[in-house]
């Protein structure tokens, strides 16, 4: 399924992508991540990854830690699009299993997108611990 080209509609799809990823299915995320050009990921545990290929590999590795039945929710606090660039910021809550450990997380998120071939593609994600949501 092709994601919507309207960014507001795309954000609804992004929530579905997050839900799948948090349950151990990385395919939907893989479909919206850039394949070339500048890309970066600042994971919640610290550090950073640069380059489209390297970021894609990191997402593929990280998704293996999540288990089916986990739940996530994206609370979008702000978003916008202008031309071929778009963003959203907010809080992602997660409850489920990471590895074999029951986990609850609240992370602050900033994601940046660029339009490629008419589709929104994720090229930057910054995620850091938020403490409690709200």
Confidence of residue 103 (pLDDT cuts 50, 70, 90): confident
pLDDT, residue 133, reads 42
- As a whole number of angstroms, the distance between CA 112 and CA 7 comes to 12
Q: Is the pLDDT of residue 24 over 60?
A: yes
Q: Please provide the DSSP assignment of 77-95 as one string.
A: EEEEEETTEEEEEEEEEEE
Q: Is the pTM of this model over 0.85?
A: yes
Options 3.10.450.50, 3.40.50.300, 3.30.420.10, 1.20.58.220; CATH for 7-129 is 3.10.450.50
Closest CA to 77 of 130, 17, 21: 130
Closest CA to 24 of 69, 63, 78: 63
Angstrom distances, CA of residue 102 to CA of 98, 105, 113: 6, 10, 31
- As a whole number of angstroms, the distance between CA 131 and CA 129 comes to 6
- As a whole number of angstroms, the distance between CA 53 and CA 109 comes to 21
Provide the pairing of β-strand 71-82 with 49-50: unpaired
Q: How does pLDDT run across 39-80, given as a tens digit for each residue?
A: 999 999 899 999 999 999 999 999 999 988 899 999 999 999
Question: For the chain, which residues make up each domain, given as ranges?
Answer: 7-129
């Amino acid at each position: 399924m092709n994601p919507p080209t309207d960014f507001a509609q795309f954000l609804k799809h992004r929530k579905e992508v997050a839900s799948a990823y948090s349950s151990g299915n990385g395919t939907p995320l893989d479909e919206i991540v850039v394949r070339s050009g500048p890309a970066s990921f600042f994971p919640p545990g610290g550090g950073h990854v640069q380059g489209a290929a390297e970021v894609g590999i990191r997402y593929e590795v990280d998704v293996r830690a999540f288990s089916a039945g986990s739940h996530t929710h994206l609370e979008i606090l702000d978003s916008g699009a202008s031309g071929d660039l778009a963003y959203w910021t907010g809080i992602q809550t997660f409850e489920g299993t990471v590895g074999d450990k029951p986990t609850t997380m609240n992370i602050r998120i900033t994601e940046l997108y660029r339009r490629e071939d008419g589709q929104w593609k994720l090229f930057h994600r910054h995620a850091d611990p938020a403490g409690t949501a709200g």
